[in-house]
Amino acid sequence: MFSFFDIFGGSKRRSALQVFDRTLGQLEVNPAYVDDGMRFAVYKWANLLSAENGAAHDYLMREAAALISFCVLGPAETEVLWGPEVRAEREARFDGVIARGEEETFDALVIKLTLAKNIAAPDIRARVALETEEEKTPTP
């Protein structure tokens, strides 16, 4: 069913959120974990990044969903579902953000949001807590 706004591009957000929701479902993330506030935050960040560098909006929404899936399921479950290559790829992406201490990149924002919503797997939360503690501990 189309509305007046759909004719003039008003469905861009709806389409992007549908891509995001479908991808989350395909990646085994329970839709109850991702509330509207989280969905719209990811959409907003994808819009900003798309405007900055011309990245395809749907691609960014799928990439955010993949990162959220890794954070929610954890490395072991990701490997069970999709194999060691997918686990290694997503883990490298996650570890890269943590190792570089990124704060405001798209991936960093998605990871921080997943942690803030308290939907990350325990081993993911432990990794981030460990990294944070290591940063606070002065080296002799």
**Torsion sign (Cα): 118, 119, 120, 122:** positive
If one compares 12 and 43, the residue with the highest pLDDT of the two is 43
Cβ-count burial of 84 within 10 angstroms (0-12 exposed, 13-18 middle, 19+ buried)?
Answer: exposed
Q: What is the pLDDT of residue 15?
A: 87
Q: What percent of the chain has pLDDT over 70?
A: 84
Asked if the model's pLDDT at residue 7 lies above 90, the reply is no
Cα–Cα distance measured from residue 105 to residue 128, given in angstroms and rounded to the nearest whole number: 16
- C-beta separation of 49 from 16 below 8 A: no
Indicate if the pLDDT at residue 16 is higher than 80. Answer: yes
In this predicted structure, the answer to whether residue 5 has a pLDDT above a threshold of 50 is no
Query: How far is Cα 107 from Cα 98, in angstroms, rounded to an integer?
Result: 10
Note whether 99 and 54 are within 8 A (CB).
Answer: no
Mean pLDDT of 2-25: 74
- Break the chain into its structural domains and give their ranges: 12-134
